[in-house]
Structure 1
Amino acid sequence: MIQNKDVQFVDIGLSPYQETWDLQESLLGRIAQIKLNNRQQALVSPTPNFLLFCEHPHVYTLGKSGDESHLLMQEPFLANIGASFFRINRGGDITYHGPGQLVAYPILDLENFFTDIHLYLRKLEEAIILTCQDYGLVAGRIDGLTGVWIDYEKENARKICALGVKASRWITMHGFALNINTDLTYFSHIVPCGIASRGVTSLEQELGRKMDMWEVKEKVLSHLCQLFECHLQHVSRETLNLTHNS
């Protein structure tokens, strides 16, 4: 197999959850078809990789192994707070996405990089840890828990980034959500990631100022490229649509 470390990147901005989920599925399906053709026809066509950045309108998502009781309200109440709810096929429990939060969806063929899902998760976490360090924040991991935490060695550890992924034939989808200028009151309606004993936070809350979203995105991108040793290709949403429909 020819390893391809080029990653097509697009920031699609504020995007409805279902629309972005469908796009991920389409891109994953395209990669999977190339891999199938390679095996059936003894081809060596390289597989593409994609990275989507976006924000979502207020939405709660529950992973396939999650506990629905961690949604602390009846679904009809969602309309009152302008939110929607999806049961989805990633790992992990319940989380919130909304404006001011960077949601990243890497759709990567890990055979282009390394075939180790745990290493994949750790590298995603490391990109956020390094980004937090860029702003002078002490961030890290807590044993047995995914995601990135501020003051992770203290009793008042606060989650700043949630992770939840799916992998099929070594192709990834879903990803991570970094709280930047996020309205944290929306987390009060759930047990975030099923962990009642820990709080959530954002860069804005920790630093006491509104953050420049693109500045943070550039730092995250830089760290992801270094950790995955990949080459980023900026493409437009229109180009991506043409690519995944071809």
Structure 2
Amino acid sequence: MNKNVILQDLGLKDYKETWDFQELLFQKTLDIKIKNRKEDSRLPTPNHFIFVEHPHVYTLGKSGDIANLLVDESVLAEKGAKFYKINRGGDITYHGPGQIVGYPILDLDNFFTDIHKYLRFLEEMVIRTLAEYGVKAERSKGETGVWLDVGTPFARKICAMGVRASRWVTMHGFALNVNADLGYFDLMIPCGIKGKAVTSLNVELGKQEVDLNEVKGKLLKHFEALFEAEIIEQEKTSA
């Protein structure tokens, strides 16, 4: 099993361009798996971890309800935001500058074949990272992602998640609010869950800005520990 994971940081990158890049890596891995099955071969399958920030964009998962976007696309255009219907699970999500988006494109045959465990490990990676900043984060029963003050009137989401998997190959991933402009969340019902607020790490710490690269480093450290993986860094690149 190949537990090496190739890291690429795309910086600020258009959502659709990044989605296309994900699809390319995803399909290449699937092609290797299909070839292995047909030819009874054992070619190793690669694993990738993409970090990216997106310009303002709203995405709707395949099981989502468009009614959870509270404005039409003309209002989004005025706000400089785009909108896409996409092929991950989950409902509506916002991405924007100041948010760390992570897309692990893993062959889970290299780790464990359990999507539930995969999602819990991604959540745990974020929970452990936030703990290093003194922020107590947790899961909310029946709601994927990472939350603060679960079970209280002040419950708020700090990290959204939505993934796609085929033949145990994953794509899409998580979006952690670090220095996010929370005003953009007012244009939707986050993840289709009414009555729940959204927060960002800088707000919780009372800081104007948190070092994004520092947070990325902590996320990767916990990812490596949980998945028993080894990150192989590449230089900052473009999709």
Which TM-score applies when normalising by structure 1? 0.95
Say if 2:110 is the partner of 1:112: yes
CA shift digits 1:129-187 (9 cap, x unpaired): 00111111110001110000012242211100000000011000000000000000000
Mapped partners of 2:28, 2:235: distance in 1: 18
- Aligned residue runs from structure 1 range 131-150, under 5 A: 131-150=129-148
CA distance in 1: counterparts of 2:216 and 2:150, whole angstroms: 23
Q: 1:88: which partner in 2?
A: 86
Query: Could you tell me the percent identity over the aligned residues?
Result: 57
Query: Counterpart of 2:59 in 1: which secondary structure?
Result: strand
Using the TM superposition, name which of 145-154 and 32-41 deviates more.
145-154
Describe the SS at the equivalent of 1:54. strand
Moved more, 229-238 or 97-106: 229-238
Give 2:172's aligned residue: 174
Runs (5+) with no aligned partner, structure 2 = none
Pairing 1:205-224 to 2, within 5 Å after superposition: 205-209=203-207, 210-224=209-223
1:98 and 2:96 correspond:
yes
Q: Which residue of structure 1 lines up, in the alignment, with residue 23 of structure 2? A: 25
Whether the 8 Å CA contact 2:32–2:43 is kept in 1: the answer is: yes
2: distance between equivalents of 1:64 and 1:40? 31
Q: What letter corresponds to residue 145 of structure 1 in structure 2?
A: E
> What secondary structure, in the 3-state scheme, does the structure 1 residue paired with 2:180 have?
coil
The correspondence for 1:59, drawn from 57, 60, 74, is: 57
In the TM superposition, what are the counterparts of 1:127-206 in structure 2 within 5 Å?
127-206=125-204
Instruction: Work out whether 1:235 is the aligned partner of 2:234.
Output: yes
Distance 1:206 1:189 in 2: 22
Amino acid at match of 1:47: T
Secondary structure of the corresponding residue to residue 144 of structure 2: coil
Residue matched to 2:73: 75
Unaligned runs of 5+ in 1: 242-246
d(CA) in 2 for partners of 1:85, 1:227? 33
Aligned to 1:39: 37
What residue identity is the alignment partner of 1:223?
H
Alignment deviations for residues 97-133 of structure 1 (CA, whole Å, 9 cap, x no partner) = 0000000000000000000000000000000000111
Task: List per-residue Cα deviations over 1:24-49 (Å, max 9, x = no partner).
Answer: 00001100011111111111111000
Distance 2:10 2:33 in 1: 26
Quote the offset at 1:236 in angstroms: 3.1
Compute the displacement of 1:56 (Å). Answer: 0.0
Q: Which runs of 4+ in 1 moved over 4 A?
A: none
Length, aligned pairs only: 238
- Are residues 1:8 and 2:9 paired? no
Q: 1:153 to 1:107 in 2, by over 3 A?
A: same
Question: Over aligned residue pairs, what C-alpha RMSD do you find?
Answer: 1.0
Q: Name the CA distance, whole Å, in 1 between partners of 2:155 and 2:224.
A: 28
Report the Cα distance in structure 1 between the residues aligned to 2:135 and 2:102, rounded to whole angstroms.
Answer: 21
- Output the CA distance in 2 between the equivalents of 1:36 and 1:127: 30
Q: Please give the alpha-carbon distance, in whole angstroms, between the structure 1 residues aligned to 2:104 and 2:111.
A: 13
Q: Which residue of 2 aligns with 1:244?
A: none
